[in-house]
Amino acid sequence: MGAGIAHVAAAAGHRVIIFDQDKGVAERAIAGIAARLERSVERGRIDEELANQTNRNLTAAASINDLSECRLVIEAIVENLGIKRLVLGEIEKMVSNDAILATNTSSLSVTAIAAELERPEQCVGMHFFNPAPVMRLVEIVHGAVTDSEVAATAFETAQAWGKTAVHTKSSPGFIVNRVARPYYGEALRLLSEGAANVVTLDAVYTECGAWRMGPFSLLDLIGLDVNLDVSKSVFDATFNDPRFAPSFVQQSLVDAGHLGRKTGRGFYEYGPDAVEPEPATAPDHGLDKEVVVHGDPGPLGALVDRWSMRGISITHVAGDGLISVGDIQLRLTDGRPATELVDVGLAPPNTAVIDWVHDWVTTSRVCIAAASTCSRSSLGTLVGALQAAGFRVTVIEDTPGLVVARTLSTLASVAGDTVLHGIASVDAIDTAMRLGTNYPSGPLQWAARIGFGRVVEVLDHLVAAYGEERYRASLWLRRASQGERLTRRFAP
């Protein structure tokens, strides 16, 4: 990470001095940067003059005292509060009073790091994402006493380096590592409850939800131990908020030494003999029943359009927004399992619920769950109808909120609280999640498109199902939902 940040700064035209306490590390970092620059020139990504100038801007420090003339010092050392305090304290004594001391911490409190400095107002977080030369996001983290001009300078510097910077207050996980926790947490809970297996859940996340990587593939890439440490850190720092609770499934794999790609085994097997597993996909069924749309289908209107575009005959009748194919009803999930809808008399025995998707036009897979009372033949009829619309169909266990709906709702709730508590703005959160984690949309932007009211409804039904504060809806989301209702009421 340190070498990556040095690369970015040097490429932007700054003279950069690299120091590492271990002899030879700084020199190897510079050699590594030179090798990457050479490959970039060979591939036509940069010109030779930029590569040469970047190399000329890099110097290895013989001792930490060589940093005395630096106006910006960025530490990218071990995630240990005591060590960071010690190192920044040493540097503070040798640099000018107006020098900025930046920490690249991903999870520690910037306020706590700065607390023992003589000039804590000069300390700010500049959280880069790995690999720093490639990833566009930098979180500018304000400690409790960080001077506003210091934060503004760090922000403008990151922007000048070609990055997209966002402001955030120092809080557990900042933006990305805080808001992203439910992406892993809900996937791990779905796995532990037997909703589906690892590869099937990953396929639903990537093909239905359009996330770049499924949570289990991503955990294996990050390292299960690294991710678990961040989860524990955020959980502890939020005084055991259940929304951030670590998973026993993940802990068990870490205890066994199955840490992901780096050990050859995590949620998946790696190596030359590893067999790539296939997600659960329903076998082909023909469409031999009429598709009937009852009233305004709402978000499922795009599904109806897909049938129409493929020449499927559709009958429209009055009703409450559901779809039926033969004797089975299909509803967009509101967080309640299909079986519960049947039990409380809101749906007939042959009922299924369908998960949310990021984009009904482009999605290649849909995820459904059927009530325990649903017949296999009726479910097959529905599967055939969805396949006729051009989808691969995954049937999972009848679990509250299915996969995408419950995950997006919990992401949006944590994001909403992040706004509510003044940690970051809506735009900063959505930008950070798109650029820092490659989300297809920012969680609040996506929730707005789905409808904040629907998101709150899913969360309330998850609370009813589990009886846990883990699924509480953010007050910010509730207010946004009320705003939606007022807008509809007074719209011209």
**Which residues are designated catalytic?**
106, 127, 139, 177
CATH assignment of the domain containing 245: 1.10.1040.50
Considering only CA atoms, give the Rg of the chain.
26
Q: Is 351 helix (H, G, I), strand (E, B) or coil?
A: strand
Do residues 357 and 248 both lie within one domain? no
Going by C-alpha positions, the residue among 125, 128, 70, 134 that lies closest to residue 99 is 70
Tell me if 225 is assigned to some domain.
yes
Q: Measured between alpha carbons, how far is residue 244 from residues 188, 214, 236, 241, 406 in Å?
A: 12, 19, 9, 6, 15
What pLDDT is stored for residue 488 in this prediction? 53
Q: Does residue 22 sit in the same domain as residue 171?
A: yes
418 in a domain, yes or no?
no
Q: Same structural domain for residues 240 and 325?
A: no
Domain boundaries, position 208 = 178-263
CATH of the domain at 338: 3.30.750.190
Rounded-to-integer distance, Cα 206 and Cα 247, Å: 22
What pLDDT, on the 0 to 100 scale, is given for residue 485? 65
**Whether residue 231 is found in the same domain as residue 243:** yes
Residues 241 and 311 in one domain: no
CB-based contact 29:18 (threshold 8 Å) = yes
Say which CATH number the domain at 167 has.
3.40.50.720
Q: What is the pLDDT of residue 483?
A: 85
| In a shared domain, residues 148 and 211 | no
Q: If you average pLDDT over residues 74-82, what whole number do you get? A: 94
Say if residues 191 and 249 touch (Cβ distance below 8 Å). Answer: yes
Evaluate if residue 348 carries a pLDDT over 70. yes
The last residue of one of the domains, among 352, 380, 395, is: 395
pLDDT over 80 at 302, yes or no = yes
Is it the case that residue 41 has pLDDT exceeding 90? yes
Stretch 328-351: mean pLDDT: 98
How many domains are contained in the chain? 3
What is the arithmetic mean of pLDDT over 38-67? 95
Q: Are residues 39 and 163 in the same domain?
A: yes
- Inside any domain, residue 278: no
Of 360, 395, 430, which residue sits at a domain end?
A: 395
207 and 105 in one domain?
A: no
Dump pLDDT digits (tens) for 191-224: 999 999 999 999 999 999 999 999 999 999 999 9
How confident is the model at residue 107, as a pLDDT? 82
Name the pLDDT band for 288 (thresholds 50, 70, 90).
Answer: confident
How many C-beta atoms surround the C-beta of residue 311 within 10 A? 7
Any idea which residue has 């590893």 for tokens? 274
The CA dihedral of 312, 393, 181, 83, to the nearest 10 degrees, is -120
pLDDT at 489: 47
**176 and 147 Cβ atoms separated by less than 8 Å:** no
- Using one digit for the tens of pLDDT, what is the confidence trace for 133-190? 999 999 999 999 999 999 999 999 999 999 999 999 999 999 999 999 999 999 999 9
The last residue of a domain, from among 151, 177, 203: 177
Q: Is residue 437 part of a domain?
A: no
When pLDDT is averaged across residues 50-75 and rounded to a whole number, the result is 96
55 burial class (0-12, 13-18, 19+ CB within 10 angstroms)?
middle
Residues 14 and 47 in one domain: yes
The confidence score (pLDDT) of residue 331 equals: 97
pLDDT for residue 487? 56
